[in-house]
């Protein structure tokens, strides 16, 4: 059953995971530039 709430939760989770990965990868990118 593919409800709208499930899609909404999935989208929110994907957005927060992507944001978390960006926050994590920025310091490593900065370190590699040094």
Residue 21, CA distances (Å) to 2, 6, 7, 8, 16 in order = 27, 22, 21, 20, 9
Query: What confidence tens digit (pLDDT) does each residue in 3-34 have?
Result: 888 888 888 898 888 888 777 788 777 777 65
Is the model's pLDDT at 1 over the cut of 70?
A: no
Radius of gyration of the chain (CA): 15
Q: Which residue has the higher pLDDT, 2 or 12?
A: 12
Count up the domains in the chain and report the number. 1
Chain center to CA of 19:
4
How far is 25 from 27, CA to CA, in rounded Å?
6
Residues spanned by the domain of 6? 1-34
Residue keyed to tokens 């992507």: 18
């Amino acid at each position: 059953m593919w409800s709208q709430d499930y899609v909404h939760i999935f989208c929110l989770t994907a957005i927060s995971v992507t944001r978390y990965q960006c926050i994590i990868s920025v310091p490593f990118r900065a370190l590699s530039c040094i």
